[in-house]
Amino acid sequence: MKTIILPGYSEHNKDWAMDLAGKLNLGHRVAVIEWEHWSTGGSFSAKKEIEKILKVVGAEKVNVVAKSVGVAVGLEVVPRISSQINKVILCGIASVANEDRKDLLKAFLSKVPVEKILCIQNEKDKFVPYKEAEKFYHSVSPEIKIISKPRSDHDYPYTEDFQKFLED
């Protein structure tokens, strides 16, 4: 078993991911996916990142913790490894405005049972406030668990919530 962290797009998310990896105490390896554009300065390629993630996961059972653009990548990668998924946390979804994202969520939920998924969204997240995220997730599955947090930014320092969900 391992846990992989799919951070947000900008490089400061590396600090969030490394901090989270250091604080999670799950009794197994926690791997941070470092987006290629952080080191190369090029553009973000979901296709390349998905290939890298699949190699990191290998044949192991995994938890996935995804934030922001990591949620978008997670919605694509998790269905490909659904038999290996233990639990998934999606926090800080950054876009719910297009049908493609809804189609990805539908495919995701067809492969992963809702009880294995936890969504966390800040009440006033600058990209997608909680109410919009809730509407989006529940439009696909009213059973999906989504928690509102009382913040007005795009930071997700909820190690205790992550820990509790992943160890249950």
Residue 66 belongs to domain with CATH number: 3.40.50.1820
Q: What's the mean pLDDT in 48-72? A: 96
How many independent structural domains does the chain possess? 1
pLDDT of residue 98: 79
Decide: 101 and 69 in contact? Cβ < 8 Å. Answer: no
* 16-18-24 Cα angle (round to 5): 95
Residue % of the chain over a pLDDT of 70: 100
The span from the CA of 146 to the CA of 119, in Å, is: 4
- How does pLDDT run across 125-149, given as a tens digit for each residue? 999 999 999 999 999 999 999 999 9
Q: Is the pLDDT of residue 97 over 90?
A: no
* Domain range for 16: 2-167
Q: What's the mean pLDDT in 49-64? A: 96
The span from the CA of 11 to the CA of 16, in Å, is: 10
- How does pLDDT run across 23-52, given as a tens digit for each residue? 999 999 999 999 999 998 888 999 999 999
Q: What's the mean pLDDT in 111-121? A: 97
DSSP 146: E
pTM for the model stands at: 0.96
Q: Is the pLDDT of residue 166 over 90?
A: yes
Least confident of 40-54, 81-95, 151-165: 40-54
* 82-6-68 Cα angle (round to 5): 105
